[in-house]
Amino acid sequence: MSHVVRKYFADFEKEEQWLNDMSAKGLALVEYSWARYVFEESAPGEYIYRLELLEEDPKKAKSAEYLQFMEETGAERVPAGKRPSGKTVYVNPRWVIFRKKAAEGAFTIYSDTDSKIKHYQRIYRLWISLAVMELIIGVFNISLMFVNNPTALNRINLIMGLLLIVLALFFISLSMPIRRKITKLQNDKLVRE
Amino acid sequence: MSGSNEYGALTEGVYYILLSLFTPMHGYGIMQNVKLLSNGRVELGAGTLYGALGTLVERGWIEPLAGGQDSRKKEYRITESGRSALLSEMTRLDELLSNGRKLIGGEPE
């Protein structure tokens, strides 16, 4: 029997923790798409879950090669679902959820400080680039106010612009804890590998 | 994993990867071998290992085995310059250890 949970996470490590807590309770994630989690009953703790932001779109050669390597090590990618034809589909371009049977041993993706920093930096750049994009479009929308005559359209530009700026602030708020994690790891690196 | 610069220390992951590749191995084999060599202490993350393999190939310290293209799993082995990088790291580690022992003892009983 499958259970569907709708939930949103801003912090991927909390999301990962939640998936592992669910797994410990005997609910293993089998599908994920846009804040919709589908679980199936399993032996408690059967799977370990890990999240990763890939360097590139999974369809690109570099990521495809990496995904194959992950498979060789016993990890599988959690899909978005299955088409009626039976074809497995994936959403969410660069964020990937992996799972691996706990019986096959520990499952970590990044085990040393350097590679952890690189992964966090990837995430940090994603949030910052989204923030900058929203900010530019937002400011552009508001600036239209001064070009156009005061009309109803004008007000829409202002509202859109403000919404986009709020969205930009949201992405900045996501990036800040990541920045702190990077700084902490970089400080650790001064002392040990 | 940046591994090392020209004269710096190798990460322990890189050290054990190089040591493992005196026998040709694929990725998962390396992970298991490193765990075995270190008595379970060093468990390489798959992403970390993947990054390290890429960097080491770029540096010419290891190479993918010919014929690995058609088989699904790519195997790697250490090269001559990988060997000398490993040897100079061992010399460096020797120096650290012998200085430590000379100054504060700690020679295993």
Q: Do B43 and A111 touch (CB under 8 A)?
A: yes
The confidence score (pLDDT) of residue B2 equals 45
The confidence score (pLDDT) of residue B108 equals 57
Q: Quick one: angle between helices B27-37 and B46-59, nearest 10?
A: 100
Q: Do A109 and B51 touch (CB under 8 A)?
A: no
CB-based contact (8 Å) between A1 and chain B? no
The confidence score (pLDDT) of residue B4 equals 43
CB-based contact (8 Å) between A38 and chain B? no
What's the pTM value of the predicted model, to 2 decimals? Answer: 0.87
Cβ-count burial of A34 within 10 angstroms (0-12 exposed, 13-18 middle, 19+ buried)? exposed
The confidence score (pLDDT) of residue B81 equals 96
Q: Is the dihedral of CA A70, A76, A80, A85 positive or negative?
A: positive
pLDDT by residue, tens only, chain A of 193 residues: 789 999 999 899 999 999 999 999 999 999 998 889 999 999 999 999 999 999 998 888 889 899 999 998 999 999 988 777 777 787 667 899 999 999 988 899 999 999 999 999 999 999 999 999 999 999 998 888 777 666 666 788 889 999 999 999 999 999 999 999 999 999 999 988 7
Q: Which of B26, B44, B47 sits opposite A72 (nearest CB)?
A: B26
pLDDT band at B8 (very low <50, low <70, confident <90, very high): confident
Q: Do A73 and B31 touch (CB under 8 A)?
A: yes
- Which of A50, A70, A72, A119 would best serve as a mutation to test chain B binding (most B beta carbons within 10 A)? A72
**Which of A60-92 are b and which e, b meaning 16 or more Cβ less than 10 Å from the residue's Cβ?**
eeebeebbebbebbbbeebbeeeeeeeeeebee
Q: Do B2 and A112 touch (CB under 8 A)?
A: no
